[in-house]
């Protein structure tokens, strides 16, 4: 009886390993979850040409990707010899409907779950916490309702969470402080209530959008130090702007418009080392604090303080800020004359200073003549609105004065003394 040489044995071992890799099989547990997902979808919403319509479990999913069956929606990586695991599940935007709660979500190697812009309803499954390696969860643009499950806070590898534009209610779970790697949180366009929690333990979080909800109470006393953009417009947030928000060294965009914030707009927002866009319109601020001369290092490009209760004279320092090119103070209770520095910044800004390209001052009680430099501007060159004030000689035919006739003499006199 002959015997094989060592080299021959090694050859067959390698050949066998290659054969197994070429014909890998999907882990049975992953197949079960995929079946659960397809069965949870209303068959009437699975149309020809859609991803789910191509899911045919008469063949192995991971071994048939890109063929006539399982044409899309999945990605698999070989994790253990001969066994593939599903690492990405991204459905097409085909208006699939149904509930996600009957799915066990036992996909321990999944890194990306994306079912955005469909019509799934019911609650967000508690069982999503089984996705222990997931880095991105996208449930945006569905019809999900109920509260956000606190179990999501256990997803320690999660970097991006998209729950926006659903019908979710209740409060944001305190357990979110467990999302240590979270970088982006989008929960806008829901019906979320209660106070926004302190998420200062999330040292990697740089983007929060909680706009268009019913969040109330005051802003949290602390924010993640890594925050770059904060949007919480169109809620019911009260109180003042906390020092913690001003102290964020990297923040570039703050949008707190359409809330119930009051008090003074802090001077330090105009001297901030990184803030570029500030939107505080449609609140109840009564004044703007003067920052002194330190605003010369400001990075602010656009400021919208319109539709508040701001009184007093137009803040002169805003006409001297080096990078500010868009300013709206419309629909407040500001009075006095238009500062010369506003006109010069629009016409002769000077070297190294950005020109006002957008200056909206309508709907106040400004009086006196229009500064001469502004009268030299040509229609279409910049955007200026001075209508609905107490200005001398500001007819509607002048493009600067479009947006409303000047207030009547009696209305202006009732507010305060004017200069004819």
pLDDT single digits (tens) 196-212:
999 989 999 999 999 99
pTM for this one?
Answer: 0.91
Mean pLDDT computed over 356-361:
96
Q: Does residue 95 or residue 350 have the better pLDDT?
A: 95
Q: At residue 20, does pLDDT exceed 60?
A: no
What digits encode the pLDDT tens for the residues 123-160? 999 999 999 999 999 999 999 999 999 999 999 999 99
Q: How confident is the model at residue 394 (pLDDT cuts 50, 70, 90)?
A: confident
Residue 419: its pLDDT value, please?
53
Residue 6: its pLDDT value, please?
53
Q: Helix/strand/coil (H, E, C) string of the chain?
A: CCCCCHHHHHHHHHHHHHHHHHCCEECHHHHHHHHHHHHHECHHHCCCCCCHHHCCCCCCCHHHCCCCCCCCCEEEEEEECCEEEEEEEECCCCCCEEECCCCCCCCCCCCEEECCCCEEEECCCHHHHHCCCCCEEECCCCEEEEECCHHHHHCCCCCEEECCCCEEEECCCHHHHHCCCCCEEECCCCEECCCCCCCCCCCCCCEEECCCCCCCCECCCCCCCCCCEEECCCCCCEECCCHHHHCCCCCCEEECCCCEEEEEECHHHHCCCCCCEEECCCCEEEEECCCCCHHHHCCCCEEECCCCCCEEECCHHHHCCCCCCEEECCCCEEEECCCHHHHHHHHCCCCCCCCCCEEECCCCEEEEECCHHHHCCCECCEEEECCCCEEECCCCCCHHHCCCCCCCHHHHHHHCCCCC
Q: Does residue 313 or residue 21 have the better pLDDT?
A: 313
Q: At residue 250, does pLDDT exceed 90?
A: yes
What digits encode the pLDDT tens for the residues 270-320? 999 999 999 999 999 999 999 987 788 899 999 999 999 999 999 999 999
Q: At residue 18, does pLDDT exceed 60?
A: no
């Amino acid at each position: 009886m002959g015997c094989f040489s060592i080299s021959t044995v090694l050859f067959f071992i390698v050949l066998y390993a290659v054969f197994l890799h070429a014909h890998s099989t999907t882990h049975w547990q992953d197949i079960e979850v995929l079946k659960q997902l397809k069965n949870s979808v209303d068959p009437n919403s699975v149309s020809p040409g859609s991803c789910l319509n191509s899911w045919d479990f008469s063949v192995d999913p991971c071994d048939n990707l890109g063929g006539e069956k399982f044409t899309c929606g999945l990605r698999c990586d070989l994790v253990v010899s001969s066994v593939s695991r599903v690492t990405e599940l991204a459905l097409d935007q085909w208006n699939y409907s149904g509930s996600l709660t009957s799915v066990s979500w036992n996909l321990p190697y999944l890194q990306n779950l994306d079912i955005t812009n469909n019509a799934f309803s019911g609650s967000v499954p508690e069982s999503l916490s089984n996705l222990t390696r997931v880095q991105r969860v996208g449930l945006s643009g569905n019809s999900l309702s109920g509260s956000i499950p606190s179990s999501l806070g256990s997803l320690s590898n999660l970097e991006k969470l998209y729950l926006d534009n659903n019908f979710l209610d209740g409060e944001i779970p305190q357990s979110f402080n467990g999302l240590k790697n979270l970088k982006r949180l989008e929960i806008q366009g829901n019906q979320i209530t209660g106070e926004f929690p302190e998420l200062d333990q999330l040292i990697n979080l740089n983007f929060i959008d909680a706009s268009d909800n019913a969040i109330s109470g005051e802003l949290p006393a602390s924010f993640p130090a890594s925050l770059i953009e904060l949007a919480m417009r169109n809620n019911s947030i009260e109180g003042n702007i906390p020092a913690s928000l001003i102290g964020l060294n990297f923040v570039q965009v703050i949008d707190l418009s359409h809330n119930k914030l009051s008090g003074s707009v802090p001077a330090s927002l105009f001297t901030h080392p990184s803030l570029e866009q500030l939107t505080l319109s449609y609140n109840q601020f009564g004044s703007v604090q003067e920052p002194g001369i330190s605003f010369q290092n400001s990075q602010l490009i656009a400021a919208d303080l319109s539709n508040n209760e701001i009184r007093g004279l137009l803040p002169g320092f805003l006409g001297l800020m080096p990078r500010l090119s868009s300013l709206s103070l419309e629909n407040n209770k500001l009075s006095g004359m238009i500062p010369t520095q506003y006109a010069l910044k629009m016409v002769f800004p000077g070297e190294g200073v950005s020109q006002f390209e957008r200056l909206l001052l309508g709907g106040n009680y400004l009086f006196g003549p229009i500064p001469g430099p502004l009268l030299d501007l040509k229609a279409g060159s910049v955007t200026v609105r001075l209508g609905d004030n107490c200005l001398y000689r500001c007819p509607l035919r002048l493009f600067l004065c479009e947006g409303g006739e000047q207030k009547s003499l009696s209305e202006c006199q009732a507010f305060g003394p004017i200069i004819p």
